[in-house]
Chain A
């Protein structure tokens, strides 16, 4: 499929869904439009609400808070994931001791931690960052741990034959190898940082996209909920696009097939 026709079909899918939504909320074709409007609002109302959010400038504060929480959660989670992933890969005995605890912590549903984080870090951004970190950390940790452990033995032997000492092996072989694994999970780790932030806001906050949606929900303001979800979806798309750009820049050495 060519780029143009792909784009056409992608837009067509959205157009059909919005059109069906519009028809359902305006005509009796799918039942009583009043009921439909109560549960789904109407595309026009949602669009108007989004415009209002941006025109009044109210949305920027929430976007900024959510973005800040996402970035902080990603950074803290990635740095700690890389550090501990590296340490465990280099010290297999320590890794073996901690193995059941890591698995246990990773299996825990993060939502149950949210109230505790709120108790520890308050209702501000840090409880949301903490929630995001618990999600990002494990993705990065497992990837880096695996990546360092599975560094090609031939590349390692060759690097040693070239005269590399411990620090040089780290810099030229282990580190780039681990980074390539970390970046291959960039999309999911950034995505989970955002999930952590929004879920945290949803459960208790005074600002952010999750808070906005939660507040509208509390008032049975379905239009507000849908408006919040659309803004959130576009926000996710934009972040994902930025991640793709960064990834292309950093992983130029990767074969194209592997990226698909």
Chain B
């Protein structure tokens, strides 16, 4: 069954002549248990697509469906991992995770117990009482991951989640994500501008064109065997072949985005 189905989705910001068309026409489908990565140049509307699936943004055209039903309001089945820090700074790590269950009606004692368990699973045992500002960037992402996963959403939406982290931490987080995901293989829509990260994690890589009115340029199936090690897989010859093939599509778009930005700056 298709978990996420975006059919001819278009997104515009503003109204009338000044309206900016972010996404022209995008068709993306994610099957159950499939990990799909979207890559594209900066400002091509990748994150916008995630917001449409999440129900945080209504498309100007086309239709978004989740498990066959049109998206209306916030998508309950989806968990969202944001690029920026989204933890509540006034709650401890444990409270941040537990509150995700509490708002769904789980008793506090049980929510705390399961929150503790999830913090341990993302490698943060002993950090329960810390506030977000007392954690490193990577640790905050781990808390955010536990907060997203504790509700057991059927779809995971991730918007360059590891973008702000340093290279070593990114690699560790990629591995953590793969090991947590491989337990029940939820449907994933993962947005990134890092092609290597996309290939290392995903089953399929979707290339988006430069904006405005961006669209899907091509799709590539990543036939690397699982379980994968997010770091070691980068050494395999097949990885390089894929990287080369996808990059040839992506490069044109990056160049277009770059020259567009340069022309915009010159005018």
Contact residues of A with B, CB < 8 Å? 152, 154-155, 157-165, 168, 172-173, 176-177, 180, 252-255
Q: Which residues of A contact B144 (CB under 8 A)?
A: 158
Pairs A-B, 7 closest by C-beta atoms:
A158-B86, A255-B133, A253-B131, A161-B80, A176-B90, A154-B84, A162-B100
- A160 contacts B90, CB within 8 Å? no
Stretch touching chain A among B18-26, B71-79, B170-178, B249-257: B71-79
Decide if B88 is an interface residue (CB 8 Å cutoff).
yes
CB distance from B77 to the nearest CB of A (A): 11
Q: Which residues of B contact A155 (CB under 8 A)?
A: 86-88
- Tell me the total A-B contact number using a CB cutoff of 8 A: 62
Q: Which residues of A contact B78 (CB under 8 A)?
A: 161
- B91 contacts A253, CB within 8 Å? yes
Q: A160-B74, A162-B151, A163-B76 are in contact. Are A172 and B103 (CB under 8 A)?
A: yes
Chain A interface secondary structure, helix, strand, loop or mixed? Answer: helix
- B80 contacts A158, CB within 8 Å? yes
CB distance from B157 to the nearest CB of A (A): 8
CA of A31 to CA of B11 in the docked complex: distance in angstroms? 82
CA of A155 to CA of B99 in the docked complex: distance in angstroms? 13
- A157 contacts B80, CB within 8 Å? yes
Decide if B54 is an interface residue (CB 8 Å cutoff).
yes
Q: Which residues of A contact B92 (CB under 8 A)?
A: 253
CB distance from B62 to the nearest CB of A (A): 22
CA of A180 to CA of B86 in the docked complex: distance in angstroms? 17
CB distance from A157 to the nearest CB of B (A): 6
Pick from B80, B89, B103: contact of A253, CB below 8 A. B89
Q: A154-B85, A157-B82 are in contact. Are A162 and B133 (CB under 8 A)?
A: no
Decide if B16 is an interface residue (CB 8 Å cutoff).
no
Decide if B147 is an interface residue (CB 8 Å cutoff).
yes
A251 — nearest CB in chain B belongs to which residue? Answer: B90
Decide if B180 is an interface residue (CB 8 Å cutoff).
no
- A252 contacts B131, CB within 8 Å? yes
CA of A186 to CA of B170 in the docked complex: distance in angstroms? 41
- A163 contacts B133, CB within 8 Å? no
- B88 contacts A173, CB within 8 Å? yes
Q: Which residues of B contact A252 (CB under 8 A)?
A: 131
Decide if B113 is an interface residue (CB 8 Å cutoff).
no
Q: Which residues of B contact A162 (CB under 8 A)?
A: 99-100, 103, 147, 151
Q: Which residues of A contact B80 (CB under 8 A)?
A: 157-158, 161
Q: Which residues of A contact B90 (CB under 8 A)?
A: 176-177, 180, 253
Q: Which chain B residues in 53-86 approach chain A with CB under 8 Å?
A: 54, 56, 74, 76, 78-80, 82, 84-86
CA of A176 to CA of B133 in the docked complex: distance in angstroms? 16
Q: Which residues of A contact B132 (CB under 8 A)?
A: 253
- B56 contacts A160, CB within 8 Å? yes
CB distance from A172 to the nearest CB of B (A): 6
- B99 contacts A163, CB within 8 Å? no
Determine which residue in A161, A168, A176, A180 has the highest number of CB atoms from chain B within 10 A of its CB, and name it: A161
- A163 contacts B151, CB within 8 Å? yes
Decide if B14 is an interface residue (CB 8 Å cutoff).
no
Pick 5 A–B contacts, CB within 8 A, sort by A. A154-B85, A154-B86, A161-B80, A164-B103, A253-B131
CB distance from A126 to the nearest CB of B (A): 35
